[in-house]
A = this chain, B = another copy of it.
Amino acid sequence: MLLSLRKTQSKADVEPLLTLARELGYRTRFLDAGRHVLELVREDGSVGAPSDRSRIEELAVVKQVLDASDAPELTEARGATQPTVVRVGWAVFGGGQVSLIAGPCAVEELEDLVLVAHAVKRAGATLLRGGAFKPRTSPHSFQGLGREGLARLVAAREEVGLEFVTEVLDPRDVPLVADAADMLQVGSRSMSNAPLLREVGESGRPVLLKRGLAATVRELLLAAEYVLATGNPNVVLCERGVRGFDGVTRNLLDVGAVAHLATATHLPVVVDPSHAAGRSELVAPLALAGLAAGADGLIVEVHPSPGRVHSDGAQALSPSAFEELARDVRALARLRGKTLAVPRPEVPPVYEVEETAP
């Protein structure tokens, strides 16, 4: 590890760093006369534990790790790393496979939910989304149907044959939600919620981790690291737009982060064009931009009557608009050398099979 140090008042200020480095098994050497640059080399030639960089970085005298990619953190793509492929039902994220997640923002009527689930599956979605526990800015806003919402998602899965991802907000709800859902979503507001990240990690379920509103890419990867550190390797990152200064879109979709993540981490990345756009007519262009930048999938809000819904209706696509988007996604994925995962085939009911057997 190569460290750039702050100017210090006295030599003693560097002592804690030298001591820690030695305890962790590194030999230390200042490279320049001004003692600005310190080199740490493992005595045994090994790369050191994932935690070394984080422990060293947090000392006051350390300004920067200069050769950051040498830090062996769990999320980073290095030479021999295979891309992580995350499978949820018939959805596959990563390793050249692209999947579509779609559904309403919040779960409301079961009838509507089943209708949307059928429609998005028909169009090519392999995972249903829908909020039972909703993170809301105001305590006076609709907070989701909770347990009842989960039950409706389970019913829709039964009926339609489409696995689902849903958000969990409270570490105490993780067992409940993990019991019902096929994939757990950690929302943008919860990205830095360490107790929640640990719980979802330990649930063993695949995790969809959304980037915080003003989180750096490194902060997003370190949030993923909380999950990986529990031994759960199935994390899908999600770029959903960062806070910008212009109101033409709700958030600023950071396609540069998507392109960068494709080279920096072995984890798959999906894009949420709905929350970035905030207006339905911009959802399709942003979805395609995300894919073109290298995303391994999309998560899109679809609602049969967008004007009527409680939250985020302005950005939901109608089922037919989603169908059109899915067609373009298939073509674009092919262009970029990837394949769109296909939904579970409709199986004829068993009794029909028996009837046709002579």
Contacts and interface: CB of A to CB of B under 8 A. Distances in A.
Contacts of A214: 213-214, 242-243, 245
A36 interface: yes
B292 A2 contact: no
Contact of A66 (B36, B52, B169): B36
Interface in A270-297: 276-277, 281-282, 285-286, 288-294
Contact of A194 (B57, B66, B136, B260): B136
Nearest to A257: B248
A328 B138 CA distance: 38
A59 interface: yes
A109 interface: no
What is the oligomeric copy number? Answer: 4
A354 to B, nearest CB: 46
Given A66-B36, A309-B60, A288 B292 contact: yes
Interface residues of A, number: 107
A58 B248 contact: no
A193 interface: yes
A27 interface: no
A231 interface: no
A225 interface: yes
A193 B193 contact: yes
Contact of A31 (B32, B139, B247, B289): B32
A79 interface: no
A114 B252 CA distance: 38
Interface of A: 2, 4, 6, 8-9, 12-13, 16, 31-32, 34, 36-37, 39, 50-55, 57-61, 66-67, 73, 135-143, 169-172, 189-190, 192-195, 212-214, 216-217, 219, 222, 225-226, 229, 241-249, 251-260, 262-264, 276-277, 281-282, 285-286, 288-294, 306-314, 316, 328, 331-332, 335-336
